[in-house]
Amino acid sequence: MSKEAIVPAASQAMYDNFHFAPAIKSGDTLFCSGVIGTRSDGSAPEDPEEQFTLAFQGVETVLKEAGLGFDHIVEMTTYHVGLQKHIQAFLKVKDQFIKEPYPAWTAIGITELAVPGGILEIRVTAKV
Protein backbone atom coordinates (compact mmCIF):
# COMPACT_ATOMS: atom_id res chain seq x y z
CA MET A 1 0.00 0.00 0.00
CA SER A 2 1.33 3.41 -0.95
CA LYS A 3 0.81 6.48 1.24
CA GLU A 4 1.68 10.07 0.45
CA ALA A 5 1.31 12.86 3.01
CA ILE A 6 -0.40 16.00 1.67
CA VAL A 7 0.89 18.99 3.63
CA PRO A 8 0.13 22.53 2.44
CA ALA A 9 2.87 25.02 3.39
CA ALA A 10 0.62 26.66 6.00
CA SER A 11 0.22 23.28 7.74
CA GLN A 12 3.89 22.27 7.87
CA ALA A 13 4.35 23.33 11.51
CA MET A 14 1.31 21.28 12.58
CA TYR A 15 2.72 18.28 10.67
CA ASP A 16 6.15 18.70 12.30
CA ASN A 17 4.97 19.50 15.84
CA PHE A 18 1.89 17.31 16.22
CA HIS A 19 2.83 14.47 13.85
CA PHE A 20 -0.30 14.24 11.73
CA ALA A 21 -0.90 14.93 8.08
CA PRO A 22 -3.66 17.25 6.87
CA ALA A 23 -4.35 14.47 4.34
CA ILE A 24 -3.04 11.14 3.15
CA LYS A 25 -3.34 10.00 -0.45
CA SER A 26 -3.53 6.22 -0.72
CA GLY A 27 -4.25 4.80 -4.16
CA ASP A 28 -7.05 6.86 -5.68
CA THR A 29 -8.43 8.07 -2.34
CA LEU A 30 -7.59 11.17 -0.31
CA PHE A 31 -8.30 10.91 3.43
CA CYS A 32 -8.39 14.37 5.00
CA SER A 33 -7.96 15.17 8.68
CA GLY A 34 -10.53 17.40 10.32
CA VAL A 35 -10.30 21.14 9.69
CA ILE A 36 -11.46 23.74 12.22
CA GLY A 37 -12.22 27.26 11.00
CA THR A 38 -9.41 29.32 12.46
CA ARG A 39 -7.67 32.54 11.49
CA SER A 40 -3.98 32.55 10.54
CA ASP A 41 -3.10 33.18 14.20
CA GLY A 42 -4.92 29.98 15.22
CA SER A 43 -7.87 31.72 16.88
CA ALA A 44 -11.48 30.79 16.18
CA PRO A 45 -13.77 33.68 15.21
CA GLU A 46 -16.82 34.22 17.42
CA ASP A 47 -19.06 34.61 14.35
CA PRO A 48 -20.28 31.12 13.33
CA GLU A 49 -20.57 31.93 9.60
CA GLU A 50 -17.01 33.27 9.52
CA GLN A 51 -15.77 30.17 11.31
CA PHE A 52 -17.67 27.87 8.94
CA THR A 53 -16.31 29.72 5.91
CA LEU A 54 -12.74 29.47 7.22
CA ALA A 55 -13.20 25.73 7.79
CA PHE A 56 -14.35 25.15 4.22
CA GLN A 57 -11.50 27.32 2.93
CA GLY A 58 -9.12 25.15 4.97
CA VAL A 59 -10.57 22.01 3.39
CA GLU A 60 -10.18 23.66 -0.02
CA THR A 61 -6.48 24.36 0.68
CA VAL A 62 -5.82 20.70 1.44
CA LEU A 63 -7.79 19.52 -1.60
CA LYS A 64 -5.92 21.94 -3.88
CA GLU A 65 -2.55 20.74 -2.53
CA ALA A 66 -3.58 17.27 -3.74
CA GLY A 67 -4.75 18.65 -7.12
CA LEU A 68 -8.43 18.22 -6.26
CA GLY A 69 -11.52 20.32 -5.56
CA PHE A 70 -14.82 20.10 -3.73
CA ASP A 71 -16.33 18.10 -6.59
CA HIS A 72 -13.97 15.23 -5.71
CA ILE A 73 -15.43 14.81 -2.20
CA VAL A 74 -17.38 11.55 -1.80
CA GLU A 75 -17.92 11.64 1.97
CA MET A 76 -18.03 14.41 4.57
CA THR A 77 -18.34 14.21 8.35
CA THR A 78 -18.91 17.38 10.34
CA TYR A 79 -18.54 17.73 14.08
CA HIS A 80 -20.58 20.53 15.67
CA VAL A 81 -20.58 22.19 19.08
CA GLY A 82 -24.17 23.46 19.25
CA LEU A 83 -25.37 21.52 16.20
CA GLN A 84 -29.04 22.52 16.48
CA LYS A 85 -28.20 26.14 17.31
CA HIS A 86 -25.97 26.64 14.24
CA ILE A 87 -27.29 24.18 11.63
CA GLN A 88 -29.07 26.77 9.46
CA ALA A 89 -26.01 29.04 9.33
CA PHE A 90 -23.86 26.00 8.57
CA LEU A 91 -26.12 24.88 5.72
CA LYS A 92 -26.01 28.37 4.21
CA VAL A 93 -22.20 28.34 4.16
CA LYS A 94 -21.90 24.67 3.13
CA ASP A 95 -24.03 25.30 0.06
CA GLN A 96 -21.58 27.95 -1.11
CA PHE A 97 -18.87 25.27 -1.37
CA ILE A 98 -20.56 21.88 -1.84
CA LYS A 99 -22.56 21.43 -5.07
CA GLU A 100 -24.48 18.57 -6.68
CA PRO A 101 -24.00 15.71 -6.78
CA TYR A 102 -23.72 16.06 -3.02
CA PRO A 103 -21.38 13.77 -1.08
CA ALA A 104 -22.52 11.42 1.64
CA TRP A 105 -22.66 13.51 4.83
CA THR A 106 -22.89 12.79 8.55
CA ALA A 107 -23.31 15.63 11.08
CA ILE A 108 -22.41 14.85 14.68
CA GLY A 109 -23.09 17.00 17.74
CA ILE A 110 -20.20 17.10 20.23
CA THR A 111 -19.27 19.00 23.40
CA GLU A 112 -15.92 20.53 22.43
CA LEU A 113 -13.10 20.71 19.87
CA ALA A 114 -9.31 20.98 20.22
CA VAL A 115 -9.32 24.72 19.45
CA PRO A 116 -10.84 26.97 22.15
CA GLY A 117 -14.01 28.54 20.76
CA GLY A 118 -14.12 26.14 17.83
CA ILE A 119 -17.67 25.06 16.95
CA LEU A 120 -17.09 23.07 13.73
CA GLU A 121 -14.64 20.53 12.40
CA ILE A 122 -14.95 19.16 8.85
CA ARG A 123 -13.43 15.86 7.71
CA VAL A 124 -13.68 14.68 4.11
CA THR A 125 -12.75 11.77 1.89
CA ALA A 126 -12.17 12.47 -1.79
CA LYS A 127 -11.52 10.40 -4.90
CA VAL A 128 -8.49 11.32 -6.99
CA dist 120 and 52 (Å) reads: 7
Record: fold of 4-127: 60s Ribosomal Protein L30; Chain: A; (3.30.1330)
CA dist 115 and 121 (Å) reads: 10
For 41-62, the pLDDT digits (tens) are: 999 999 999 999 999 999 999 9
DSSP 118: -
**Where do the domains of the chain lie?**
4-127
CA dist 44 and 38 (Å) reads: 5
Nearest to 5 by CA among 42, 31, 37, 34: 31
CA dist 9 and 125 (Å) reads: 21
pLDDT confidence bin for 14, thresholds 50/70/90: confident
